[in-house]
Each structure stands twice: as structure tokens, then as C-alpha cells.
Amino acid sequence: MEIKLSTHQNPISQSIPDIKSSTETESVGLVHTAKSVITELVTEQPIPISNQLLNPVESSPAQQSNDIKVQAIDHKQADIGQDQLTPATDIKIEFQIISGNDGKLLDSGQQHFALDGRNNYQLDINSNHSENDAYENWDIEITGALYSNRLSPSKYYTNGTQAYKLLRLSRISREELISAEPTKGMMPDGLLDRQSLIYQFMFSPPTSTDSKLFLTDGAKISIYTVHLLNIELLDTTSYGKLTTVHLVLSNSDNNETIDLWLAPTFKYLPFKIRHVQPDGKITEQLIQTVSIK
């Protein structure tokens, strides 16, 4: 099956230092705790999501009605075909990155996720520019495996400042951007990174129960609370208003949040990701087209 989707949304948005021994020592206790917490995320029963949900709400921070959320979650199992619920093994995405503060186009790129018959996966992300574009070329490569419905990244490679931004968790200084060089490293204990997270919910759909999630960028580990905010409608060019599950990942150590709008009828892929940094800077990563096989 091949599915194409385009959105009208304007377009979230580098090298990450290799993992240092001091970082490994400081985070070892945290990593072991992460194993049990991640298990919570993937062992909950998935929400019965319908593409004909009762009264999904418009995507707005002010419309956070718990009554509507519960009504949608408790609704009878959707009439979603089994082929749509079965995880895909090959996905290609074209996306844009925009500034959520002023709507300015920051960059564009493409992703290719491939899962082989031995449950090994590779994620390639690179710039999608013409020769005349003034944008920098960049690329990311992540490899790992699928264990018990959980993606477990093992190695990463980044080249370019935009690649650095897409993978990095903490705030990036101007000096780091200027000095960014191609780098590679290992993901601590197979913890999820921000880009592999895009495909995680295809294997373990979200639940109505709040949970904890550990994310890493190869050097830093952060803990997020995962909260299902609402069932919302997201405007798209090809399909009008698309029913989505709005998840919020919040970091208790600062004001950072990552919002994801997952589309159940498209393998729970997030058609919109909003990253709000502690300093208030907002970037959004929006799917423009997707091919699913």
C-alpha cells in the first residue's frame, strides 16, 4: 500500500559531541531507571482511536476539554483497516521546518525509515534543497533495532548545523553552531532520540494514562512526562481536517515541551511536531508528503 498526503501548513526544526566517559558515569543510574519506565510506555493498552471520532476539537491550546478527550477515547473501536494499523516497513517523508514564533521557513528535508526482516532499522534524514538554494546541506543517519515494540537506536551520525538542531535536546549556543563538525557516536542504552520518536507510536500507540519517556541526543538524557491532551482536528490540504491525537511531552527540569499531533489513519505518524525551548523559541516540523509501504 502506498499513501500520499500533503499539508498546507508552512514548514521544526550541527554536530553532537561524541559521548564522553564522564557523561556515561553521571547518567548510568538514570539509564537503568529508564529501562523500566520505557516499558510502561509500550505495555499500556492502546487507545481505541476512530477516524470518525465524536466531536474532535479544533487544534487550540485553549480547547483542552477532558470531557471531549474521554468521550473520544471511550468511543467504540474505529473502523480503521488492519493494513493501516499494521506497522510499516518503509516510510518516506518530506517535511518543512518553520519558526513557530513568526512562521518563517527555516529549512526543508526528507526522511527515509526502513525496517528489515530481522527487526533492524535505519533512519536517513537529509536536506531537500535545489542547487540554487542558499540553505546548507546536512544529513543524519540513525541505526538501531526493534525490541518488543520499542525502537532502540544504537548509533548516530550527524553532519551540518540543521542536523545538530534536529537531534539536540538542550539549548544550542552560537559558538556550538559555528564550530559544529560531522560526528558519530552511540546512543546510551538504546534510549530514543527525537527523530526515532517520530516512528515509535506506529509500534506502540499512545495511551490515556500519563507515562514517563526518556530521550537522548547521544550526550544528554532528559526525562519527559507524556500526556494525552486531546483528540484534535488538524487542517491538511489533501484531506481537509485530519483527526489526530495530540500528545504533550514536558520536561519537569525546565519549560521545554514537545507537542506531537499523531494521525491514527497514517500509522500514528506525527504530522506536526512543535518544540518549545526553555528560552521560548519555537520550531515546528511539518509533514508535507508521506509514502508508506
The string of pLDDT tens digits covering residues 190-219 is 899 999 999 999 999 998 899 999 999 888
pLDDT of res. 123:
99
CB 153 within 8 A of CB 10: no
pLDDT of res. 190:
84
pLDDT of res. 141:
98
CB 232 within 8 A of CB 55: no
pLDDT of res. 161:
85
Burial of 228 (0-12, 13-18, 19+ CB in 10 A): buried
Percent of the chain with pLDDT over 90: 47
**C-alpha cell at position 15:** 554536530
For residues 127-141, average pLDDT: 80
Overall pTM > 0.85: no
Of residues 39 and 256, more confidence is placed in: 256
Of residues 244 and 128, more confidence is placed in: 244
pLDDT of res. 135:
75
Domain boundaries, the chain: 21-292
CA-based torsion, 151, 30, 181, 198: positive or negative = positive
* pLDDT exceeds cutoff 80 at 230: yes
| Nearest by Cα to 267 from 122, 88, 110 | 88
pLDDT of res. 283:
94
Residues 39-92 have pLDDT tens digits of 344 334 444 443 333 345 454 444 444 444 544 444 433 445 666 678 999 999
Cα–Cα distance between 55 and 164 in angstroms, integer? 40
pLDDT of res. 171:
63
Residues 143-185 have pLDDT tens digits of 999 999 999 999 999 998 888 888 887 666 566 555 567 889 9
Mean pLDDT of the chain: 76
Residues 273-284 have pLDDT tens digits of 999 988 888 999
